[in-house]
A and B are shown apart, each in its own frame.
Chain A
Amino acid sequence: QSALTQPASVSGSPGQSITISCAGTSSDIGNYNYVSWYQQHPGKGPKVIIYDVSKRPSGVSDRFSGSKSGNTASLTISGLQTEDEAEYYCNSYTTISTWVFGGGTKVTVL
């Protein structure tokens, strides 16, 4: 299975909105609504911020939203804040009953 494709980096100014794409195939993202997104700050473990494409866990800011179109999922961060500077990973279930991650996207707040 191949890793999902994410841009290496995305940047934005405070208050702006940014979108991170996660490209997969019909064997993963395109076949299931089992896409999740994780935020990881340096030296910390990952934290789930979106699951099942667009669901937000309790306690996660509503500035984070997820969507999917075809074989590509997206994470949008609205009203960008300095604490949003982190690495973001997408993850999807696959048709061979496994899970695959994206390579990660570093978000920089300018």
Chain B
Amino acid sequence: QLQLQESGPGLVKPSETLSLTCTVSGDSISSTSYSWGWIRQPPGKGLEWIGSTFTSVSTQYNPSLKSRVIISSDTSKNQFSLKLNSVTAADTATYFCTRRRSGTSYRDYWGQGALVTVSS
């Protein structure tokens, strides 16, 4: 059974870097069959696509976040990570890691979500 699990600090100070890791079990992030990504949801608000990685090499980012985001992969640990720098209170959100079947819009697996609060 595929599982995605987000991990990382739940509290980050303004202007610092938010770092989250998604550990994948039950599939390989190197697979060409799937793309792996991050989506966030501020409290009480809608979903926002942050970015994604494919075969640990190709990455795409939301243009509104592109200057502050890096998504990277560690195939040896079967993990992919999100780094968002210069955070503000507006980055407070639940962050989900996801899997999407290549060549489709089928985002079939989501992690349970990790709430990250930006506050001093």
Residues of A within 8 A of B (CB): 1, 3, 34-36, 38, 45-48, 51-52, 55, 57, 89, 91-93, 96-104
Dominant secondary structure of chain B at its interface with chain A: loop
Does B63 touch A at the CB level, under 8 Å? yes
The answer to whether A102 and B108 have CB atoms under 8 Å apart is no
The answer to whether B49 and A45 have CB atoms under 8 Å apart is no
User: How distant is A53 from chain B, measured CB to nearest CB, in Å?
Assistant: 8
Q: A51-B106, A93-B105, A104-B47 are in contact. Are A98 and B62 (CB under 8 A)?
A: yes
Dominant secondary structure of chain A at its interface with chain B: strand
The answer to whether A36 and B47 have CB atoms under 8 Å apart is no
User: How distant is A31 from chain B, measured CB to nearest CB, in Å?
Assistant: 13
Does B27 touch A at the CB level, under 8 Å? no
The answer to whether B105 and A45 have CB atoms under 8 Å apart is no
Total A-B residue contacts, Cβ distance less than 8 Å: 60
The answer to whether A45 and B96 have CB atoms under 8 Å apart is yes
Contacting residues of chain B (13-70) with chain A, CB-CB under 8 angstroms: 46-49, 52, 60-64
The answer to whether A34 and B63 have CB atoms under 8 Å apart is no
| Mask: chain B, 101-115; 1 = CB below 8 Å from A; 0 = not | 000111110111100
The answer to whether A98 and B105 have CB atoms under 8 Å apart is no
In the bound complex, what is the Cα–Cα distance between A92 and B100 (angstroms)?
13
